[in-house]
Amino acid sequence: MNETTRLMANHRSIRRFETTPIPDNHVAEAVRCGQMASTSSAVQSYSVIRVTDPDKLYRLAELSGPQEKVRRCGAFFVLCADTRRHRVLCERAGRAYENSFENLLVAIVDVSLFAQNFALAFESMGYGVCYIGGIRNDLGAVCEMLAVPQGVFPVYGLCVGVPAESPGVRPRLPGEAVLFENAYPDDETLLGGVHAYDEIYRSYLSERGAEPRGWSDAMVGKHTTPTRHDVGPVFARQGAPI
Ligand SMILES: Cc1cc2nc3c(=O)[nH]c(=O)nc-3n(C[C@H](O)[C@H](O)[C@H](O)COP(=O)(O)O)c2cc1C
């Protein structure tokens, strides 16, 4: 492994941080790295809102769970799929913006490519990160609090900071379970490595002091429990063609 792949392979989410603030030059460097991710046809359909107002951080922490780390970290960001620039440019050019699912998907893909480069850049500086999907618990409130206009879709937050814990690396499915050659496999092959992985995952959770549960069991639980029903309607209000 080289220095870059070692950094990537050692990723683990950090959920307890020192409150030491992140210097602006580190944020600017990470933004630069985020921006240098590939972006469909250079559309760059993303934006990131750094939240520094203590009242807003408090509310965001509450509505994300509560998740205290949102307000107790070095910096907290809200990452948005952003089609607004393109909409405004089209409007100013007197042309109709094509409000398609494809354009929304491009923006969601783009912000995620930005986000992962952004996060990795911080990790390379020695900071820990944790994505926060919890902001989608009440996305309408987030949009209102951050004055997010039509055409902008907050998708997740990101806590960044000096780690105050050192958890182990969370095991992933074996590589063969996600890398296929030439064609998609049948379901038996697809689930072939899952049983062994369930055991590895259970031991990992148990070592962390968490409820030891197989990955399959956790996935069945997660994907049969309704959550965050208002994400679709909020996206629609923000202008998504759904
Ligand atoms: C989009 C996204 C949203 C997430 N939301 C949360 C969250 O709200 N709270 C949290 O503690 N972890 C959150 N996570 C972290 C995941 O739980 C974590 O990445 C996953 O369990 C794998 O563990 P690892 O990052 O330590 O390898 C999120 C991760 C992603 C990619």
Give pLDDT, residue 90: 98
- Per-residue tens of pLDDT for the chain, all 242 residues: 999 999 999 999 999 999 899 999 999 999 999 999 999 999 999 999 999 999 999 999 999 999 999 999 999 999 999 999 999 999 999 999 999 999 999 999 999 999 999 999 999 999 999 999 999 999 999 999 999 999 999 999 999 999 999 999 999 999 999 999 999 999 999 999 999 999 999 999 999 999 999 999 999 999 999 999 999 999 999 999 98
Closest C-alpha to ligand 1, atom 10: 132
pLDDT at 124: 98
C-alpha to C-alpha distances, 81 to 66, 88, 191, nearest whole angstrom: 24, 15, 33
Domain boundary assignment for the chain: 3-166, 169-227
DSSP string, 188-210: HHHTTTHHHHHHHHHHHHHHTTS
11 lines ligand 1 (CB under 6 A): yes
Q: Is 233 in the pocket of ligand 1 (CB under 6 A)?
A: no
Pocket probe for ligand 1: among 13, 72, 123, 138, the residue whose CB has the most ligand atoms within 8 Å is 13
Q: Does an H or E element contain 49, and which?
A: strand 46-51
Query: What pLDDT shows up at residue 173?
Result: 97
* Predicted TM-score (pTM) of this structure: 0.97
Q: How far is the CA of 132 from the centre of ligand 1 (A)?
A: 7
Q: How far is CA 1 from the centre of its chain?
A: 26
Could you give the CA distance from residue 120 to residue 129 in angstroms, rounded to a whole number?
9
Query: How many residues are there in the chain?
Result: 242
Strand 128-132 and strand 46-51: the pairing is unpaired
Question: How far does the centroid of ligand 1 lie from the alpha carbon of residue 38, in Å?
Answer: 23
| Index of the ligand 1 atom closest to the CA of residue 135 | 8
Report which ligand 1 atom has the smallest distance to the Cα of 64.
8
The predicted-structure confidence for 94-113, as pLDDT tens digits, reads as follows 999 999 999 999 999 999 99
Q: Compute the distance between CA of residue 38 and CA of residue 28 in angstroms, rounded to an integer.
A: 18
Which residue(s) pair with 160 in the sheet? Answer: 75, 129
Q: What is the pLDDT of residue 242?
A: 86
56 lines ligand 1 (CB under 6 A): no
CATH architecture of the domain with range 3-166: 3-Layer(aba) Sandwich (3.40)
| CB 17 near ligand 1, within 6 Å | no
CB atoms under 10 Å from CB of 26, counted, come to 18
In the DSSP assignment, the letter for residue 210 is S
